[in-house]
Amino acid sequence: MIEIHSSPYTLITRPDTQESEESLRENLNLKWVNGCLFNVMAHKNINQARVEYDAVIWNSNSILFIEYKDSLTAYRRMPAKRAQQVSDFARNIAKTLGFWKYNYIIVVNGLESEREKHRVLVLPLDELKAYQPEFQLTHREVEYIDGLVEKYHETADEKLIKELEKLNTMIRETRR
């Protein structure tokens, strides 16, 4: 069992392997990966509810959290709001651990085609081997500044745009 602490989060691996999760492990694309943990229980502070990720895989600046559902029924039982909450939790963990980019996906055995559940990618197990992660920034403020620059580039004062771009660069450089 491994424990990783990065205040206020704790990640603990669960020692048992579910037989139903073997398909997930067999289909993972690990070509881009530097590290991998399976059956990770994550919680913020001791008294809060735990979130479980079936796999957490990473390279030097990106981390991918994977939840596996071994049937369509198990997938359908997961509320869309819960998927978004687990994704937000993953983003916060990634940011705390120092990763610049992250993603959270749900992989489903028996699913016919890719879809989304409240802005979370849901991927058929059969497509996992070929899956190339598309990461999101852990720092939403950078995305927000990018959006402001794009939105007001034509109409705003050039000096303001330059200041926003400078702020954006400063934030990005702190993550290198």
Determine the Cα–Cα distance for residues 13 and 148; give it in Å rounded to an integer. 40
Residues 72 and 156 in one domain: no
Residue pLDDT, tens place only, 8-61: 888 999 888 788 889 999 999 999 999 999 999 998 876 777 899 999 999 998
- In the chain, the number of structural domains is 2
Residues 133 and 162 in one domain: no
Residue 26 near residue 17, CB atoms below 8 Å = no
Q: Which domain holds residue 156?
A: 140-174
The model's pTM: 0.84
Residues 113 and 40 in one domain: yes
Which structure tokens are listed for 23?
């398909």
Residues 114 and 151 in one domain: no
